[in-house]
Homo-oligomer: A and B are copies of this chain.
Amino acid sequence: MPRAKLRTPALRQHLLSQAVDLLAEEGWAGLTARALAGRAGTSPPALYELFGDMAGLARALSAEGFARLGAELAALRETADPVADVWTLVAAYRRFVRGNRALAEVMFSRPFPAFSPGPDELAPAAPVRSLVTQRVRRCIEAGRLRGDESDVAQVLVALVEGMAFAEVAGRLGASTEPVERRWRLAVGTLLNGLAVPPL
């Protein structure tokens, strides 16, 4: 008896994709319910049925961002040098933040949860974290780094995010040269400090 439903998971995906583009073009301030609905050829209430509210859209955007970041990281091929692979991983992470500033802002600078970020909040980032952990594990197993793989991966990601946000905020230097130099110093020093000391 009812009419055909338009507010399907397919429309949700389309809205999400358009939201990513709109976010990149206009920033978070330009990502309004009306603008997104109009751009996607639907109406605001559809947005609310599919995402709950704008915070739900932000969560979905964050998950989408982690999915894209995970895909980019997973596309990196392993070489014979596991430490060099960590460098390329860092470069890809950095490239992602630089190429998707507003999206990265939504992913990382999310308004802090009340007290505990439920498992659902961390789940989208899990593949990315496990990928980083895996690359770190290879270094440890090869004897190039030492420490707990999970701890090392967490610290590495924190350093990279801190550096990437400082860079896009313009706090790391105006010209490209000091920025590159500080990136090399940051990653090189951390890896150096984690390396087994050359007896």
Chain B proximity of A142: nearest CB distance (Å):
18
Segment among A4-12, A13-21, A72-80, A112-120 that sits at the interface with chain B: A112-120
User: Which residues from 35 to 91 on chain A have a C-beta closer than 8 Å to any C-beta of chain B?
Assistant: none
Instruction: Find chain B residues with CB under 8 A from A173 CB.
Output: 154
- A28, A170, A172, A173 pick with most chain B CB within 10 angstroms: A170
The total of chain A residues at the interface (CB under 8 A) is 52
* In-complex Cβ contact of A189 among B101, B112, B170, B190 (8 A): B190
Interface of chain A, helix or strand or loop or mixed?
helix
Contact flag A159-B186 (CB < 8 Å), given A101-B112, A112-B101, A194-B193: yes
Q: Which residues of B have CB within 8 Å of A111?
A: 27-29, 105
| Docked pose: A173 CA to B117 CA in angstroms | 10
Q: A105-B112, A181-B151 are in contact. Are A158 and B186 (CB under 8 A)?
A: yes
Any B CB within 8 A of the CB of A166: yes
**Which of A111, A152, A194 has the most C-beta atoms of chain B within 10 angstroms of its own C-beta?**
A111
Task: Tell me the nearest residue of chain B to A183, going by C-beta.
Answer: B155
Closest B residue to A125 by beta carbon equals B171
Asked if A163 meets B171 with Cβ closer than 8 Å, knowing A151-B181, A151-B182, A152-B185, the reply is no
Q: Measured between alpha carbons, how far is A117 from B115 in the docked complex, in Å?
A: 33
Give the contacting residue for A158; candidates B105, B159, B181, B197; CB below 8 A: B159
| Contact status of A182 and B162, CB under 8 A, knowing A170-B113, A170-B116, A193-B189 | no
For residue A139, CB closer than 8 A to chain B, the reply is no
A1 at interface, CB cutoff 8 A? no
Q: Are A168 and B112 in contact (CB under 8 A)?
A: yes
Q: Do the beta carbons of A185 and B113 come within 8 Å of each other?
A: no
Closest B-chain residue to A197, C-beta based?
B197
- A28–B158 alpha-carbon span in the complex (Å): 24
Nearest CB on B from A145, distance (A): 10
